Amino acid sequence: MNKLLWIRLTALSGALAVMLGAFAAHGLKGSLTVQMLETYQTGVLYHFIHTLALLAVIFLPLNERSLHWAARCFMLGIVLFSGSLYLIAISGISILGIITPVGGSAFIAGWLLLFTARSAED
Protein backbone atom coordinates (compact mmCIF):
# COMPACT_ATOMS: atom_id res chain seq x y z
CA MET A 1 0.00 0.00 0.00
CA ASN A 2 1.49 3.32 -1.05
CA LYS A 3 0.66 5.32 2.09
CA LEU A 4 1.65 8.69 0.63
CA LEU A 5 -0.68 8.16 -2.33
CA TRP A 6 -3.54 7.19 -0.01
CA ILE A 7 -2.87 10.14 2.28
CA ARG A 8 -3.08 12.46 -0.72
CA LEU A 9 -6.26 10.81 -2.04
CA THR A 10 -7.80 11.03 1.43
CA ALA A 11 -6.81 14.68 1.78
CA LEU A 12 -8.38 15.43 -1.60
CA SER A 13 -11.52 13.54 -0.59
CA GLY A 14 -11.75 15.51 2.65
CA ALA A 15 -11.28 18.84 0.88
CA LEU A 16 -13.89 17.86 -1.70
CA ALA A 17 -16.35 16.85 1.03
CA VAL A 18 -15.96 20.26 2.70
CA MET A 19 -16.38 22.08 -0.62
CA LEU A 20 -19.45 20.06 -1.61
CA GLY A 21 -20.97 20.53 1.84
CA ALA A 22 -20.39 24.28 1.68
CA PHE A 23 -21.81 24.36 -1.84
CA ALA A 24 -25.00 22.74 -0.55
CA ALA A 25 -25.27 25.08 2.42
CA HIS A 26 -24.63 28.27 0.47
CA GLY A 27 -25.33 27.57 -3.18
CA LEU A 28 -28.10 25.02 -3.32
CA LYS A 29 -30.30 25.88 -0.36
CA GLY A 30 -32.76 28.00 -2.32
CA SER A 31 -32.67 26.04 -5.55
CA LEU A 32 -33.36 22.47 -4.37
CA THR A 33 -36.44 20.99 -2.78
CA VAL A 34 -36.07 19.98 0.86
CA GLN A 35 -36.03 16.31 -0.20
CA MET A 36 -33.28 16.86 -2.79
CA LEU A 37 -31.23 18.92 -0.33
CA GLU A 38 -31.53 16.05 2.18
CA THR A 39 -30.41 13.61 -0.52
CA TYR A 40 -27.39 15.78 -1.24
CA GLN A 41 -26.58 16.16 2.46
CA THR A 42 -26.74 12.36 2.88
CA GLY A 43 -24.08 12.13 0.19
CA VAL A 44 -21.93 14.67 2.05
CA LEU A 45 -22.36 12.81 5.37
CA TYR A 46 -21.29 9.45 3.95
CA HIS A 47 -18.49 11.17 2.02
CA PHE A 48 -17.12 12.63 5.28
CA ILE A 49 -17.53 9.43 7.30
CA HIS A 50 -15.72 7.32 4.75
CA THR A 51 -13.00 9.90 4.22
CA LEU A 52 -12.29 9.62 7.94
CA ALA A 53 -12.43 5.84 7.64
CA LEU A 54 -9.85 6.05 4.84
CA LEU A 55 -7.60 8.13 7.06
CA ALA A 56 -7.84 5.52 9.81
CA VAL A 57 -7.25 2.62 7.42
CA ILE A 58 -3.96 4.11 6.28
CA PHE A 59 -2.53 3.85 9.77
CA LEU A 60 -4.05 0.63 11.10
CA PRO A 61 -1.52 -2.05 12.07
CA LEU A 62 -3.12 -4.65 9.82
CA ASN A 63 -2.07 -6.64 6.79
CA GLU A 64 -1.36 -4.19 3.96
CA ARG A 65 -3.28 -6.19 1.36
CA SER A 66 -6.43 -6.10 3.50
CA LEU A 67 -6.00 -2.38 4.12
CA HIS A 68 -5.45 -1.67 0.44
CA TRP A 69 -8.67 -3.42 -0.55
CA ALA A 70 -10.64 -1.79 2.26
CA ALA A 71 -9.35 1.62 1.16
CA ARG A 72 -10.29 0.88 -2.46
CA CYS A 73 -13.80 -0.11 -1.38
CA PHE A 74 -14.24 3.04 0.69
CA MET A 75 -13.04 5.22 -2.19
CA LEU A 76 -15.30 3.42 -4.66
CA GLY A 77 -18.20 3.85 -2.25
CA ILE A 78 -17.54 7.58 -1.98
CA VAL A 79 -17.53 7.94 -5.76
CA LEU A 80 -20.56 5.75 -6.44
CA PHE A 81 -22.75 6.27 -3.36
CA SER A 82 -22.08 9.91 -2.57
CA GLY A 83 -21.45 10.83 -6.20
CA SER A 84 -24.76 9.38 -7.33
CA LEU A 85 -26.62 11.23 -4.56
CA TYR A 86 -24.94 14.51 -5.56
CA LEU A 87 -25.93 13.96 -9.18
CA ILE A 88 -29.50 12.94 -8.35
CA ALA A 89 -30.02 16.03 -6.18
CA ILE A 90 -28.54 18.47 -8.69
CA SER A 91 -29.86 16.96 -11.92
CA GLY A 92 -33.13 15.44 -10.74
CA ILE A 93 -32.34 12.31 -12.81
CA SER A 94 -33.65 9.68 -10.43
CA ILE A 95 -32.53 6.73 -12.60
CA LEU A 96 -29.02 7.44 -11.27
CA GLY A 97 -30.32 5.87 -8.06
CA ILE A 98 -29.46 2.46 -9.50
CA ILE A 99 -25.79 3.32 -8.85
CA THR A 100 -26.30 4.24 -5.19
CA PRO A 101 -26.68 0.68 -3.82
CA VAL A 102 -23.50 -0.38 -5.61
CA GLY A 103 -21.65 2.34 -3.72
CA GLY A 104 -23.34 1.30 -0.48
CA SER A 105 -22.24 -2.27 -1.13
CA ALA A 106 -18.67 -1.04 -1.61
CA PHE A 107 -18.85 0.68 1.78
CA ILE A 108 -20.11 -2.53 3.39
CA ALA A 109 -17.38 -4.56 1.68
CA GLY A 110 -14.75 -2.16 3.01
CA TRP A 111 -15.99 -2.55 6.57
CA LEU A 112 -16.17 -6.34 6.22
CA LEU A 113 -12.63 -6.40 4.84
CA LEU A 114 -11.51 -4.59 7.97
CA PHE A 115 -13.42 -7.10 10.09
CA THR A 116 -11.62 -10.01 8.42
CA ALA A 117 -8.21 -8.33 8.14
CA ARG A 118 -5.19 -10.00 9.60
CA SER A 119 -2.56 -8.49 11.79
CA ALA A 120 0.46 -6.97 10.03
CA GLU A 121 2.52 -9.63 11.79
CA ASP A 122 0.66 -12.55 10.15
Residue-level pLDDT at 121? 77
The DSSP letter of residue 99 is T
pLDDT at 31 over 70: yes
Domain count, the chain: 1
pLDDT attached to residue 30: 84
CB-based burial of residue 116 (10 Å sphere; 0-12 exposed, 13-18 middle, 19+ buried)?
Answer: exposed
pLDDT band for 14, please (50, 70, 90 cuts).
Answer: very high
In a domain, residue 121? The reply is no
Instruction: Write down the pLDDT at residue 29.
Output: 79
Is residue 64 domain-resident?
Answer: yes
Burial (CB count within 10 angstroms: exposed 0-12, middle 13-18, buried 19+), residue 6? buried
| Nearest to 36, CA basis, from 74, 96, 88, 114 | 88
Residue 122 inside a domain? The answer is: no
CB 17 within 8 A of CB 33: no
- Domain of 85? 3-116
Q: Identify the three-state secondary structure at position 119.
A: strand
